[in-house]
Amino acid sequence: MSELLLKPQSKEIDQGITILHDVSGESSLLKYVGFKLLEITPGTKYKEELGKLECCVVVLTGKVHISDGEVTFNNLGTRESVFEKIPTDSVYISIDSKFEVEAVTKTRVALCYSPSEKKLPTKLINASLNGVEHRGTGNNQRTVHNILPDTNQTANSLLVVEVYTDSGNWSSYPPHKHDQDNLPEESLLEETYYHEVNPSQGFVFQRVYTDDRSLDETMTVENNDMVMVPKGYHPVGVPAGYTSYYLNVMAGPTRIWKFHNDPKHEWILKQ
């Protein structure tokens, strides 16, 4: 199996708290992006001290209270399934903070991290603040929920979006990359993809490759899998009959999303 593809762990780290993914530390291929996916049972509290990391807590499903010790946001969360296709609530928490997530109902939360040096205010990113975009034409259509886009100055480094791709369509396509610190032409951003598929027995394909093919992996990605993208192009294809959801986390030395299309496939945009 590719080292870029991560299967869910389903490991209980405390009573009522199960971790499905943990992209951090020496086991990770990534320098700028960290990620955890937790399931929390009602009445249970998850606590963490960030140090020199900023974090965006995304309430994927269920309802939670989130507190940084000074401000508390109650009853966050808008959906029981990501495939309701409505935006959700998130909270940005800055460096040198402690935070707590208390589950009101059974919940699944994503913790999106990046190293940071600048202290910023805690901020609620209400579902109504998510910009919703419809991108692409033909079989290249997808819907994007912008949680922390580069136009939003809430964070120092983190960029966070949700993407829905319908049956028979392609996403992150034509293939594009953002692995060169070469602004204004291209920015250096690592990326993670947390995938869900509906119905859950389905799968999608994701390829990660570089121009020189020193990295060239094509993966069969199943429900709840993760893909790390340290560099390279990274398109996603969705088979007929299934709908794809993924949560993207990006971060790098400069908080700008400036991508470069694979020139061999850019002609598709001119159709």
Q: How does pLDDT run along the chain (271 residues), one tens digit per residue?
A: 689 999 999 999 889 999 999 998 777 899 999 999 999 999 999 999 999 999 999 999 999 999 999 999 999 999 999 999 999 999 999 999 999 999 999 999 999 999 999 999 999 999 999 999 999 888 999 999 999 999 988 999 999 999 999 999 999 999 999 999 999 999 999 999 999 999 999 999 999 999 999 999 999 999 999 999 999 999 999 999 999 999 999 999 999 999 999 999 999 888 7
Contact yes or no for 244/200 (Cβ under 8 A): no
Nearest to 105 by CA among 85, 81, 123: 81
| Full DSSP string of 41-107 | -TT-EEEEE-SSEEEEEEEEES-EEEE-SS-EEEEE---SSGGG-----EEEE-TT-EEEEEESSSE
Residue with tokens 């400036």: 258
Predicted pLDDT of residue 1: 67
Domain range for 194 = 5-270
Q: Considering only CA atoms, which of 268, 239, 270 is closest in space to residue 176? A: 268
Q: Per the confidence metrics, is the pTM higher than 0.85?
A: yes
pLDDT of the residue at 63: 98
Return the half-sphere exposure (C-beta side, CA atoms, 13 A cut-off) of residue 125: 26
Instruction: Enter the tokens of residue 63.
Output: 């309802």
- The CATH number of whichever domain residue 232 belongs to comes to 2.60.120.10
How many domains is the chain built from? 1
What are the CA-CA distances from residue 99 to residues 93, 105, 121, 221 (Å)?
8, 19, 13, 32
